[in-house]
Structures are given as C-alpha cells and as structure tokens.
Chains A and B, each alone.
Chain A
Amino acid sequence: MRNVRRWGPGLLLVSPSIVLIAVFVYGLIGWNLKVSLSDWRSAVPTSNWAGLAAYRDLNADLAWSENVHHLLGFTVTFILGALLVGLTLAFLLEKGVRGEGFFRSIYLFPMAVSFIAAGVVWRWLMNPAPGDRSTGLNVVFEKLHAGFLANQWYLGQNWGMSAMAIPAIWALSGYIMALYLAGFRGVPEELREAARMDGASEWRVYRHVVFPHLRPVTLAALIILGHISIKVFDLIVAIGGKQLVTQVPAVYMWILIYDAQDYAKGAAIASLLLLGISVLIIPYLVYTVRSERRAA
C-alpha cells in the first residue's frame, strides 16, 4: 500500500472502465434477474415480486421445450462439424503447402461476413420449397441425378436443426482451423524428430506426439463454439425467421419481448442463457488465468 503513488494512477485510469463493467455487465445482470422474478408481463412495466412464476411458465411451455431440443440438435452438429472441418483444414496445411496464405484467407473469410448477410444466401442454398419453386442445393442434386438427396433442409422433421448448423459450420471452421494451425505449429520439431528417430511411422508421430499437444486447443475451441452456439440468434432469424420449427431460446426471448411483451418471461430466458454460458465459461476463465499466472 506504500506504493500507492506508483500504482494509484493506473487504477485511476482504469476505474471508469471498472465502473462501466460493474454497472452495465454485473449490475444489469442483477437487474435482469429481478425482472425475471417480477410480475412484469405486459407493455406496462411493473416490479412486484412474483417469485419463480415466469420460470414455472417457461417450464410448462411446449414452445420452450421445443427450443431447447432445437438448440441441442444445432449445438451437437455445429460443434462436431466445425471441429472436424477445422482440424482437417489445419492438418492439410500444417506442414506448409504452396499458397498457404491464400488458402487460409479463403477459409477464414466467412468470419468477416455477418450472419444476417450469410443467412440470405444460405436460405437460397437450402431452399426447402418443392420442385418448381426450388433453388440452391436441391436443384444441384436434381441436376446430378441425385434427387434422393434433395431434402427439406432446416424445415426437416428430424434433422432440421442440423441443416441449420451448416451455415454456422461454414462461418466458423476457418477460425477453428486457425486455432489448430497455431497448435500444430506449437509442437516443437525436435519432439517429432525424436519420435521419427525411434522408428515411429508418421501416423504414430501424430497419434502419440502431435495430437496430445492439441488438447488445450480442442478445449478452447469447444468453449468458443459452445458459447457461440448457446447464444445463436442472428443466423436463425436470418434463415428461419420467427417460425417455431427453427426457434431457439434467444429467438424466443426476442419474440416474447417484442411481440408478446412478456418481459418477465423474456428475462427468465435471458437468465437461463447466462446460466448455461457461465457453467461453461467460469471454470475455463479460472483455468486460463491460473495457468497464465503459473507461466509468469
């Protein structure tokens, strides 16, 4: 504390940001929780205590359980797809190929496009309309005499949300590739060389030396994709609009606020989204900060 003259100015400089984060992140989260426990169920704001009424409504709401199912289906396909494609691309690039920079920038470019704009073209590509009104991939399947592949895409009964995950995989595989590529490049060449000297085949070098080194990358990728998935909103709005068949919690919350003006129930969904993400993020943050401190 003696050195307050030394570190005081730093704290002073950061303090506006600390206050802003305290109020607008933590304060508003608390306020939102309060709204979710209130009786504010119409356009007129009220703030009387209603306990868990909104949560109980949600629990009994068939649309909500549909939402959760949709989100699960989307999440599984999205995470597996993006991990697999990203890892494959990084694997193909990791030893250095001609034009690596070129390929990398192509794979990464979807990150620069908004989900709203990407949704426009993906809605065209995955047009579920029958025959004469169809566009996109179904037309390609017909032309290739593979009409049996033509399907209902995001409106499909069982795999609709998996189709919905395709644009998300398209958008984020490049990012996952970049993460894995950095992971591959972080494996010391001497380790690989030593394994080769011991007579290990190239496959075994990967299996026993390289891939174990990629575990932290996979963890980071899982966390990143998982939290993106829980929050997914724009993409669903752009492709499926407000229809129930593609609805996920974030979209339902929006509908509850704007169309039904059921604020307590909307706030309840928002709190549950936060809970889902906290379970994922907080252990990861603690782990990251700790390992950073250990390294320092």
Chain B
Amino acid sequence: MTSTTAVPPAPPVPARTRLRRRGVQRTSASLLKYALLAFFAVLVLMPVYVLVITSVKDVAETDPAHAWSWPTTWTTAAWHQAWDQLSPNLRNSFELVIPATVISTILGSLNGFVLSKWRFPGADVVFTFFLFGMFIPYQAVMIPLTQLFGDINFPEGIPRLIFAHVVYGIPITALIFRGYYASIPEDLMEAARMDRAGMLRTYWSVVLPISAPAFVVCAIWQFTAIWNDFLFAVFIINDPAKWPVTVALNNTTGSFVTPYNLQMSAALLASLPTLVVYIFLGRYFMRGLMAGALKG
C-alpha cells in the first residue's frame, strides 16, 4: 500500500508566543502519536519475529532459555524438513486454489454485471438471498454436503473442494463485482443500448475491458480465502494425500513432539503464497475487505 495522504498546511497563527506554545504541543502530540503507532506495529509484528528466528534455529536453541534470542547458528534444516513434509500438500493447495479462484472470479463478474447493470425484476431479492449465503456458518451445510457428494458420486478429493469453494464463493464475488460495476456511468450503458448491443456484447466490449481492478480484488480475495480455508478441507477431504496445506500443517504442528523450529518453518512455508500476494497487491486486498463489509 503506497498511497500517501496530503497533510494540509497549518493555518497561520498571528502571535509569536502562541505559535511557539502550540508548536510544542503539536510536536509532543505527534511524537506520542508516532510512538503509539510504532508500539502497535511492534505488537503486530512480534509473531513474525518469533516465526522467522525460530524457523532458522537449531533444535537445541529452541529451549526456553533461548526462546527470544537471535539464533547463534543459522540453519535451513527445519525449512528443508518442512518442505519435505508439506510440498505434496502445497501442490494440492495450488491445484485447488487456482481453478477455484479463476472460476469463481469469472462467475462473480457475470453475476455482478447482471445484478447491477442488466437487472431483471426481483434482482435485489435475489442478491439478498445470495448475501445471506455469505454469512452462514458452513457447518450448517457440511453434513448434507458430504453426503450429497457421496450420493451423486462426485469425483473425490480436490474437485469436491473446488466445487464447494466456487458455490459458496458466489455471494462474495457477486458482491465485489456488483459494487464495482455500480460505479460505471449510465451514459456508457446507454451508448451500448443505442448501438442495440445485446447483453453479452455489452458485457464483452463495454464492461469487461474496464473490469481489471475488480478482477484483481476478487481474485486476491478468493485466493486468500481458499488458500487459508480449513473447515471445508477437513470435512470434505478424507485422504491425507489430498489434504491442502492448512490441514497438513495442523496435523504436523498439532503434535507436541514436533520441535518448534519445524513448527515455525512449516507455518511460514504454508503462509508464503498469501503473504507474497499481500505484499505485492495489498491495496487491492484492502478493497476486497471493504466490499466484504457491505456498505461499511
């Protein structure tokens, strides 16, 4: 996030003494402000420090006496171990998250377009019915969902998970795109109408070309949500070889015999893809968040 906020220039203050006193007050107030901001930043980043330094330590150095100290010897042994254990599951996660994100983003774009620009009678009611699906606890569909997958012989493993994320992603993706498309000027739509362009033409040649930002926001949101999902995966995938990385990570680190350096490197490794996305595309991530809050 690189946006900067312009600070308005201070208004002129006539008397010199007043100027000085207010200046001192303002400086100490802003010092306090920065001190607090830095304090909170340290608190938020503290777990990152622990993750990183512990992950490069030797097992012997992970005892309480050295818990917070800088590693004396750096080793990637734990990282290698974490990679050996998690790489098949990382692969599963990618095989899940890429198709699921692509499909649900495209679907979201089409739904969002119709629900904001090519509306039918009752479009708002439909949208509200969609939205409720965003908030439900997925536990409330989990037992029948697994049963249904079995009943209709849906291909086991990752395909089931892709399907579930696409279906339950319909509300949020429609919400993101609907909000974005609402800002397209009516004139533009009117122009397409004048040209007697049909729905798909209008979508393809008027709406889609200016949709890139919404696609990025939506794709990042879905990528993060699906990558980090644990609930669907733990209920739907029974075969450990097909587990996405979150389930495998919980399985690895849930045991108390797993040394801390391995736990931390595994947690970092499993989080790297979403962290990389966040670091490079963070400001789009924020927009997705705001959409998730409805009107906020």
What 0/1 readout, one digit per residue, does chain B (259-270) give for beta carbons within 8 Å of chain A? Answer: 010011011101
List B contacts of A274 (CB < 8 A). 136-137, 139-140
Closest chain-A Cβ to B163's Cβ sits at a distance in Å of 9
Asked whether A57 is an interface residue with its Cβ less than 8 Å from the other chain, the reply is no
CB of A107 within 8 A of CB of B41, answer: yes
What 0/1 readout, one digit per residue, does chain A (277-294) give for beta carbons within 8 Å of chain B? Answer: 100011001101101110
CB of B267 within 8 A of CB of A120, answer: yes
Smallest Cβ-Cβ distance to B292: which chain A residue: A224
Q: Among A98, A106, A118, A267, point to the contact of B41 (Cβ < 8 A).
A: A106
CB of B230 within 8 A of CB of A114, answer: yes
CB of B51 within 8 A of CB of A121, answer: yes
Asked whether B211 is an interface residue with its Cβ less than 8 Å from the other chain, the reply is no
Asked whether A32 is an interface residue with its Cβ less than 8 Å from the other chain, the reply is yes
**Surface stretch bound by A, among B12-20, B94-102, B125-133, B153-161:** B125-133
Asked whether B70 is an interface residue with its Cβ less than 8 Å from the other chain, the reply is no
List A contacts of B271 (CB < 8 A). 112-114, 117
CB of B133 within 8 A of CB of A21, answer: yes
List B contacts of A191 (CB < 8 A). none
CB of A13 within 8 A of CB of B64, answer: no
CB of B44 within 8 A of CB of A45, answer: no
Smallest Cβ-Cβ distance to B139: which chain A residue: A270
| Known contacts A24-B167, A106-B41, A108-B282; is-contact A182 B290 (Cβ 8 Å) | yes
Q: Among B50, B148, B200, B250, point to the contact of A125 (Cβ < 8 A).
A: B50
B contact face: mostly helix, strand, loop, or mixed: helix
Smallest Cβ-Cβ distance to B275: which chain A residue: A112
Q: Contact residue range for chain B? A: 35 or more
Interface size on A, residues (CB 8 A): 106
What 0/1 readout, one digit per residue, does chain A (1-16) give for beta carbons within 8 Å of chain B? Answer: 0000001111101100
| Known contacts A101-B4, A112-B285, A288-B295; is-contact A31 B64 (Cβ 8 Å) | no
**Surface stretch bound by B, among A60-68, A75-83, A203-211, A229-237:** A229-237
| Known contacts A112-B278, A117-B270; is-contact A292 B41 (Cβ 8 Å) | no
CB of B139 within 8 A of CB of A273, answer: yes
CA gap between A98 and B285 in the complex, in Å: 22
Smallest Cβ-Cβ distance to A273: which chain B residue: B137
Asked whether A159 is an interface residue with its Cβ less than 8 Å from the other chain, the reply is no
List A contacts of B47 (CB < 8 A). 118, 121-122, 125, 170
Smallest Cβ-Cβ distance to B129: which chain A residue: A21
Asked whether B110 is an interface residue with its Cβ less than 8 Å from the other chain, the reply is yes
The 3 closest A-B pairs by CB, nearest first: A114-B228, A31-B144, A96-B5
The interface of chain A, by Cβ under 8 A from chain B, is 7-11, 13-14, 17-18, 20-22, 24-26, 28-29, 31-32, 35, 45, 85, 88-89, 92-93, 95-98, 100-122, 124-125, 131-136, 139-140, 143, 170, 174-175, 178-179, 182-183, 216-217, 220-221, 224, 227, 230-231, 233-234, 237-238, 241, 250, 253-254, 257, 263, 266-267, 269-271, 273-274, 277, 281-282, 285-286, 288-289, 291-293
- Listed by A's residue number, 9 A-B pairs whose Cβ atoms lie within 8 Å are A25-B136, A101-B4, A104-B1, A116-B249, A143-B68, A170-B43, A179-B290, A274-B140, A277-B136
